[in-house]
Amino acid sequence: MTTVGINKQPPAETFQLLVDAVTDYAIYMLDLEGRVTTWNSGARRFKGYEADEIIGQHFSKFFLPDDQQAGLPARVLKTAAEQKRFEMEGWRIRKDGAKFLAHVIVDAVHNEDGSLIGFAKITRDITEKRRLEQATYDSALQLKMLVEGVRDYAIYMLDPHGRMTSWNSGAQAIKGYEEQEVLGQHFSLFYIEEDRARDVPRKALETSLRDGKFEAEARRVRKDGTLFWAQVLIDPIYNEVGEHVGFAKITRDISEKKQAEQELRHTQEALLQSQKLQALGELAGGIAHDFNNLLTVMRGSADLLLKQPDLPLEKRNRYLSAMLETAERATSLTSQLLAFARRQPLEPEVIDLSVRLDAMGEMLQRTLGSLYNLQLNLAPALWPVEIDPTGLEAALLNAVLNARDAMAQGGQIEISTANAPRDEGDGVMLSIRDTGEGIPRETLKRVFEPFFTTKPTGKGTGLGLSQIHGYAVQSGGSARIESEVGKGTLVELWLPRTEKQRQIEQAPADDAVLPNGLRVLLVEDSEHVRYFARQLLEDLGCKVVEASDGYEALRLIGEYEVDFVFSDIVMPGMSGLELATQIKQSHSELPILLASGYSSKQFIPINERKFPILRKPYKLETLAACINQLVDASPFTRPDAELT
């Protein structure tokens, strides 16, 4: 059989081609005396000699003169012959005289009968490798010296299990331990007993691995048992192939910083307490002044009516009207106080601020009079907000009246709205700008304080701006004021955007007529308010059963048949909400109406309330409208802005 297309080379020639192809290693043969008999391309590249220049030459030609004089080449061959292998690292010389660091292997070569016939020599240039290793070593040494020189920070390494593997002078200075005392110990050694009991050290390492770092400020323990405040940072450490090999831990003693912060906090608390006392003094004085004026009218009118029961009807009605107007002013003052205290019962609705303000524009212009030009700059497509419209109107009216009072000779007031995104969320900005005389800088700092006013005595309560601020904060927003003497004032309310949809408003009831003989359980802890409420209910034709607290109400509801329950919310012992919940458990279909003039910090949104709430003080018509809707068979709907 004839084989076609296969070109076979002798094995020796194939091996020679392989050796010649290697350029990273000098591979050549020596005879028994050490003369070069072969030469590959790697040898030519390393050492600079062509084959015809070096073959037949003794390999000692590559050694340094000192090594030649010391007989190193002969020892290399002797060792290779006796031990079959010689290996070393040393300096060699190229053809141009340059030195390079070589890794050398010399193997003895034997023929088939075991006789030594020469040597195989493999050399690799490791100059660059050693340079990089040295540079790495030098860098590590410098880093070690740097870390060791830092005394304000404890810098040390942990293995993956949290045991300490290094220790710097800063660690010794801060924690009091010598290096030999802590190496191999778990770093929880420095934690207080409570933290160890809560497994804080393990959780710190887990957090570092999960989040890429762990940071904390906590108390730690020195060797002598004393405590100090430490700022701690733990970073995970990974090797070149991404394997977790331990943690780097940095600790700083911040005890002095903590002490300074505590002293500053105590100073600030003392100052705040002083300011509170000053504000309370002004608040008490303002309340006393305004309520004394109101009570003077009420008491004087009541005394006159009692002493002169036969007054003409016109004069009697005039005094009664004065009393009613004074009561309304007292209600407004109370509302402002509650707004300042952030306890005003807000009844939020989802509204378009621009639409609501546009509807108020004509009323505000009439209130201001002809000397003042009111401009509305209302943005279209405004984001909806969920706020109490009544509180908004009061806040806006306060701001507009303040602006009017700052422009005795007339001027311009601009009300504007705009969408106002912020980092904490989107919102809507309501701005009221005037061209008045402005506010001095030292006065501007106090304008949101209660009863602080620059107006003459009797011209203002000092609650206007504090009501604006309280309303904005209670609505989830903020208020700010900006002013400069001679350039007017800007008041801004930022209100948060809502994703809720606007609700369709229900029309209020038009009359104050109830079904005849409606049986009502009235629950009110205040004797005077209970008497007033009973009179209103009886005027509406109701039969009233009274209870002074929730426990009495539960007893009476078991003794009497009632069609309706009307209860205050804030009562000692059992609140109105708790009472209503218990009544519903046994009388699920019984209508219940709650009343309150106070809202807690945790305000309950309308759509989450289980029972409707009537705002105090209430009128006869409002109470009737609420009861009518509750006793009706149809689902409860809001009768007006007083009930939610």
DSSP string, 121-171: EEEEE-HHHHHHHHHHHHHHHHHHHHHHH--SEEEEEE-TTSBB----HHH
pLDDT-based confidence at 505, cuts 50/70/90?
Answer: very low
Domain boundary among 71, 100, 125: 125
Centroid of chain to Cα 491: 27
| 41 and 18 co-located in one domain | yes
Omega before residue 617 within 30° of 0, cis: yes
Task: Tell me the H-state helices in 88-126.
Answer: none
User: What mean pLDDT do residues 517-542 have?
Assistant: 85
User: What mean pLDDT do residues 291-298 have?
Assistant: 67
DSSP track, 499-518? -SPPPPPPPPP------TT-
- Domain of 289, CATH number, reads 1.10.287
More confident residue, 147 or 515: 515
Residue 196 lies in a domain: yes
Domain boundary among 322, 340, 358: 340
| 45 and 119 co-located in one domain | yes
| 356 and 438 co-located in one domain | yes
| 466 and 596 co-located in one domain | no
pLDDT-based confidence at 453, cuts 50/70/90?
Answer: low
Could you tell me the pTM of the whole model?
0.35
Radius of gyration from C-alpha coordinates of the chain: 47
User: Three-state SS string across 374-389, please?
Assistant: EEEECCCCCCCEEECH
Residue 607 lies in a domain: yes
Q: Would you say 462 and 447 are in contact if contact means Cβ atoms under 8 Å apart? A: no
| 163 and 95 co-located in one domain | no
Residue 511 lies in a domain: no
Residue 2 lies in a domain: no
| 363 and 382 co-located in one domain | yes
Q: What sign does the CA torsion over 303, 309, 311, 312 have?
A: positive
For residue 58, pLDDT over 90 is answered with yes
pLDDT at 293: 63
Residue 524 lies in a domain: yes
Residue 589 lies in a domain: yes
| 534 and 396 co-located in one domain | no
Q: How many residues does the chain have?
A: 644
| 144 and 243 co-located in one domain | yes
Report d(CA 566, CA 568) in Å as an integer.
7
**Domain around 439:** 349-496
| 60 and 187 co-located in one domain | no
| 371 and 488 co-located in one domain | yes
For residue 368, pLDDT over 90 is answered with no
More confident residue, 577 or 505: 577
Percent of the chain whose pLDDT exceeds 90: 21
User: What mean pLDDT do residues 115-136 have?
Assistant: 84
- Domain of 393, CATH number, reads 3.30.565.10
User: What mean pLDDT do residues 322-335 have?
Assistant: 69
502 CB-side CA count, 13 A: 13
**CA nearest neighbour of 236 among 158, 323, 335:** 158
Burial of residue 294, with CB atoms counted within 10 A of its CB: 0-12 exposed, 13-18 middle, 19 or more buried: middle
Residue 392 lies in a domain: yes
| 189 and 231 co-located in one domain | yes
- Per the structure, the count of domains in the chain is 5
Q: Which residues contact 508 (CB under 8 A, 6 or more apart)?
A: 625, 639, 640
pLDDT-based confidence at 624, cuts 50/70/90?
Answer: confident
Residue 231 lies in a domain: yes
- Domain of 214, CATH number, reads 3.30.450.20
| 99 and 19 co-located in one domain | yes
User: Three-state SS string across 551-580, please?
Assistant: HHHHHHHHHCCCCEEEEECCCCCCCHHHHH
Tens of pLDDT along 209-258? 999 999 988 899 999 999 999 889 999 999 888 899 999 888 888 888 88
Domain boundary among 125, 146, 163: 125
- Domain of 572, CATH number, reads 3.40.50.2300
Centroid of chain to Cα 151: 34
Q: Determine how many CB atoms are found less than 10 A away from the CB of residue 431.
A: 18
Report d(CA 547, CA 593) in Å as an integer.
15
Q: Where are the beta strands (DSSP E) in 383-459?
A: 385-387, 411-419, 427-434
